[in-house]
Structure 1
Amino acid sequence: MSTNQSSHPKDCEKFAIDTSNALESQMTNGTSGTLESAELRPRFSVLAAVGMQYSISATPLAVGGYLTFILGVGGSPYFFYCFLVAAFGQMLVCISLAEIAAVYPHASGQVFWTAALSPPEWARFLSYWNGASTTLGWVFANAGTYVFAAQIFLGAIMVRFPDYVAKSYQVFLIAVACGVIGILLNTLLFKIYPAVSKFMVWFINAGTIFIFVALLTRTTPKASARQVFIDVVNETGWSSNGLVFLLGFLPGSVAIACFDTAAHMAEEMDQPDRQVPQVMIGASLLCALSAIPMIITFLFCTTNPYTLLNPIGGQPVYQVLHDAFHSDGLLVVALIIYCVVYISSCPAAIATASRLIWSFVKHGGMPGARWIGEVHPVMQVPLNAILLTVFASCLISLLVFGPSTVLNGVFGAGGICFAFSYGMPIWLLLLRGRSQLPKKRYCNLGKIGVPLNILAVCWQLISVTFLSFPLYRPVTLGNMNWASACGAVGLGIFVVNWFVYSRRNFRPPRQLYVRNLQQTETDA
């Protein structure tokens, strides 16, 4: 459990930033300025942390999974231009959060940011609800990561063996296997995980370059520039092309996300007040900039879009690769790249979610603080939080046995929960004024801070609204967007938890001190 310090301990080192505002706010909230010391050992460099976020998103390759949008949701032009708009909007949110993260580094991420920026009388309540939204978002994201990895793996098998048909129980079992692999890399093999994470940065980029070059050289004929950039195709049933454009933000919004990955690893970085914002902005820019040329390549090399209605292996990107390569060797290499990349996202998602859950629960956000909030003395990881994260995500993965619309609704609900958890600190910063942040901080937006924060909030309102819309009309049970309903059910669980447990036990996180690295190694 956390050790609270009422004064600066000898074995702790304060971040090199002015945190007087945060401490004053905490004193007002009744915590008497007490501080938390870090419990986890610094292990992640900037590149290793970038590798975690990049592994989860894998944006230049993941965008191929949304190519069905070019069939009728605006066609290729909307797919491209919507991604540009969504990437810009997501970067606004990312940069706004990075500035806050530079001031308030903490394993709970936006849960602590919300508490620090809230009016004192609302800090506890708002921090809890941010924690609830963030926890739901990451548990849903973990479940989606396992299921998508399983579908990519089984899809690769179906490409090579056309007579094979994957069963729902096989998707579930492989999803569980992905969770087990993630547990191993987050526990027994965690010493080598930072090196694995660094390797994935190079592997994803090398795989992207391979597919990029192979598609351009092997695809004949290619789509015309008019088809890619001008000809709009609206077969959604919505009469307004403007509305369809707003519906097309989904690929970009999902592919450039998970900005708080590094924030939850704050205790495991040497200088989180500097490194966390570096990773947040750097990894997100890498995702956005590497995806743009790949999107253009996919659009030019999708010469027969209607084959995507029933793609080989159930994966649109596999259909494009199969049609373009005309080579078993090239196709097998591409399949291996996709399988490795998607499976590698599982341990990264588990590491991030487990740190959030570990911190949230030990502050009374859910029952079991003594057990879940424990750090394993040998491995120096929140072992029980890791196991709980995987268990909860595997339970949600059982929805593969139900209608696909419900499963997709759960994953969509994760996006809505993330938008809420990201938005709260930015909204509070605007409402209470940017004077809440100390003048001396590593990431300072200065005069552009207010307009940038306002644009970020506007983008969130637009994206969340239209991410909840069904893509096609007339709306049926088969194409209904269940994201809002699934999110409401999840939040309902936390409503009950608040009245039964957390209203008495939850306390907001406090400003973090991190152990001096040399002292940490001595203690270990």
Structure 2
Amino acid sequence: MNEGSDYETPNAPQHRTEDEILASFGYKQEMNKTISTLSNFSIAFGCCSILSGLTPMWGDAMMSGGSIAIVWGWILVSIFTFGVGLSLAEICSAYPVTGGLYIWVSRLAPPEWVPVMCWLTGWCNWLGLTVAITSADLGLAQFMSSIIGIRDPSYNASIYWQYGIFLVIVVIHGIINSMHIKYNGFFNQTSLFWHLIGTLLIIIVALVLTPNKASAKWVFTYFENDTGFSSSSYAFLIGLLQSQYTLSGFDSAAHMSEETRDAARSAPRGILYAIGAAAITGLVFMLSINFCVQDFQRQIVETQLSPQMTQVFLDGVGYQWTVVFTVIIMGAMFFSGSALTLGSSRMIYAFARDGATPWSKWLSKVHPTTQTPIYAVWANVIFASIVGLLYIVNTTAFNAIVSVNTIASSMAYFIPIALRLTSARHNFKKGPFHLGPFSDIINLVSCFWILFTSLLFVCPTEYPVTGENMNYASVIFVFVIVSSLIYYYFYARHWFKGPGSQSDSSEVNEDTDSVIQKYAK
């Protein structure tokens, strides 16, 4: 990987300024650039929160492949996800704009396909990020409800009570992200240290206090298949879903580009640092928890506590430390939900800026005092709250929400990477960070991995398949995307031409090609 630029020439400035890059897309700088590389990384790392992603689904993954799926599955997913991150970081460096993925597509797709490809990418990206708010905050609500169960295992919080807690959490996240971005920077850096210090504390205390720990052989080789499917390979693959769900949302670093200093370098670093840090801390965390399993059947299969990891804590370190652990995990979940709310609001703001959403005039407004897109923040809060209603209808809907989040995000990643590999292979203008001769092979592997895992997320996870355990992720995903395409075909295609199509031409009149040519001659 290199940090050079194809824009550099002897007779031109070394790099285009970020204002000029924005102008090339038909935009002007509206938000303050107050975010550092550390803050950008913190936001992306918060979206990849290992404590909020791994904890709720750990028990299900253990029953779908055992410790092998947890440990080796995490390593496998981390490697391929880092490859996806490299592919996206290269494109992000060339186009450090808040809209991220869908704006990149406008420069990677053939001209005649730009409007529909941008439209599809934008809606996939928005759906993935916004549904992620629902999954993170709903997971926190479930976890908060289960705390009472630690003291009284017979207690079972009603679904309506859990949804009420969820609504309070979502609203608080809306309030936090309506404040000035400088406060969010501090909040997200606090999130980073909370995750790292909290995870380290759990690892050390759990390993020191837990008696009768599992052997290394058990941790690295134990396999379990409680899915009902006869195929052990299929069970192992189902066990990968926990890992892939956790390692998503890192594109939030790109969505903060217009508020990040030196975004062409800082945003790609934010993506890669987030994946790398999550991969390493996640592996150490999973290893430590698996070593603390004393009785698989009783602690994971038969326990009444949810999530099952709570039972492992309770047996290993006792009630008081378990309460401390749950507070740390709930704090991480809260920070993660806030980071996702932040990232998704910037995405919908950028999309609305191009007139690609209903009520675009309002969703694209930046509040003059807070310098934040407040209407976009609360639109996502409302949508996340509505999606959460599915949990009341059917408790298995939580798994579908998780799957939709990952599928939608993955497809939003796939489109620009595939275009970079095909139609834009020879005319891509590299930014300061690029992959050099390794670009094509990394992009190709990333595309195959995204398609493979997306197919996994629509597969059933239990057998026999019934109406109650059916994976409805494909139904939700197809409904939203098809609805958006119908809206595009009958209405939006008449005026939506891609990023910058709604901009005031009197203020911004230099297109991308002219700017690139200016600095590439």
TM-score normalised to structure 2 length: 0.89
Match in the other structure for 2:485? 495
2:158 corresponds to 1:159? no
Match in the other structure for 2:429? 438
2:342 corresponds to 1:356? no
Q: Which runs of 4+ in 1 moved over 6 A?
A: 511-514
2:444 corresponds to 1:454? yes
Match in the other structure for 1:8? none
CA contact (8 A) 1:61 1:208 kept: no
Question: Superposed, which structure 2 residues align to 1:208-219 within 5 Å?
Answer: 208-219=199-210
**Distance in 2, Cα, partners of 1:470 & 1:80:** 22
- Secondary structure of the 2:44 match is helix
Q: Percent identity?
A: 26
Q: Please, which of 307, 311, 315 is the counterpart of residue 315 of structure 1?
A: 307
**Distance in 2, Cα, partners of 1:49 & 1:462:** 29
**Distance in 2, Cα, partners of 1:44 & 1:130:** 26
**Distance in 2, Cα, partners of 1:259 & 1:70:** 22
Offset at residue 264 of structure 1 (A):
0.8
**Distance in 2, Cα, partners of 1:163 & 1:341:** 27
Q: Please, which of 53, 59, 64 is the counterpart of residue 62 of structure 1?
A: 53
**Distance in 1, Cα, partners of 2:14 & 2:174:** 31
Per-residue CA distance 1:318-353 (angstroms, 9 max, x = gap): 111111102x33122112111211112222111111
CA contact (8 A) 1:325 1:331 kept: yes
- Residues 75 and 407 of structure 1, relative CA distance in 2, 3 Å threshold: closer
- Residues 508 and 70 of structure 1, relative CA distance in 2, 3 Å threshold: closer
- Secondary structure of the 2:426 match is helix
Per-residue CA distance 1:385-442 (angstroms, 9 max, x = gap): 1111101111111122111223421331121111111000111111124333225x21
2:179 corresponds to 1:188? yes
2:277 corresponds to 1:286? yes
Per-residue CA distance 1:221-246 (angstroms, 9 max, x = gap): 11122222223222333333223332
CA contact (8 A) 1:71 1:305 kept: no
Deviates more, 1:156-165 or 1:367-376: 156-165
Q: Please, which of 364, 368, 372 is the counterpart of residue 373 of structure 1?
A: 364
CA contact (8 A) 2:250 2:275 kept: yes
Deviates more, 1:190-199 or 1:256-265: 190-199
User: What is the letter of the counterpart of residue 387 of structure 2?
Assistant: I
Q: Please, which of 477, 483, 488 is the counterpart of residue 473 of structure 2?
A: 483
Offset at residue 148 of structure 1 (A):
1.0
**Structure 1: gaps spanning 5 or more residues:** 1-13, 515-524
Offset at residue 357 of structure 1 (A):
0.6
Match in the other structure for 1:74? 65
Match in the other structure for 2:15? 16
Q: Please, which of 267, 272, 276 is the counterpart of residue 258 of structure 2?
A: 267
Question: Superposed, which structure 2 residues align to 1:15-164 within 5 Å?
Answer: 16-17=15-16, 35-59=26-50, 62-69=53-60, 71-164=62-155
**Distance in 1, Cα, partners of 2:184 & 2:400:** 32
CA contact (8 A) 1:80 1:296 kept: yes
Q: Please, which of 418, 431, 440 is the counterpart of residue 427 of structure 1?
A: 418
Q: How many residues align?
A: 490
User: What is the letter of the counterpart of residue 505 of structure 1?
Assistant: W
CA contact (8 A) 1:312 1:318 kept: no
Q: Please, which of 317, 325, 328 is the counterpart of residue 325 of structure 1?
A: 317
Alpha-carbon RMSD: 2.5
User: What is the letter of the counterpart of residue 198 of structure 1?
Assistant: Q
CA contact (8 A) 2:174 2:378 kept: yes
**Distance in 2, Cα, partners of 1:184 & 1:15:** 41
Per-residue CA distance 1:203-262 (angstroms, 9 max, x = gap): 111111111011111111111222222232223333332233322221111111112111
- Residues 411 and 387 of structure 1, relative CA distance in 2, 3 Å threshold: same
**Structure 2: gaps spanning 5 or more residues:** 1-12, 509-521
**Distance in 1, Cα, partners of 2:64 & 2:150:** 26
Match in the other structure for 1:236? 227
Question: Superposed, which structure 2 residues align to 1:468-479 within 5 Å?
Answer: 468-479=458-469
**Distance in 1, Cα, partners of 2:499 & 2:260:** 18
**Distance in 2, Cα, partners of 1:270 & 1:67:** 37
**Distance in 2, Cα, partners of 1:128 & 1:185:** 29
Offset at residue 448 of structure 1 (A):
0.9
- Secondary structure of the 2:323 match is helix
**Distance in 1, Cα, partners of 2:156 & 2:217:** 37
Match in the other structure for 2:374? 383
CA contact (8 A) 1:141 1:411 kept: yes
CA contact (8 A) 2:64 2:235 kept: yes
**Distance in 2, Cα, partners of 1:311 & 1:41:** 50
**Distance in 2, Cα, partners of 1:244 & 1:127:** 36
- Residues 484 and 15 of structure 1, relative CA distance in 2, 3 Å threshold: farther
**Distance in 1, Cα, partners of 2:176 & 2:235:** 42
Q: Please, which of 398, 408, 412 is the counterpart of residue 389 of structure 2?
A: 398
User: What is the letter of the counterpart of residue 352 of structure 1?
Assistant: G
- Secondary structure of the 2:27 match is strand
**Distance in 2, Cα, partners of 1:259 & 1:156:** 29
User: What is the letter of the counterpart of residue 316 of structure 1?
Assistant: Q
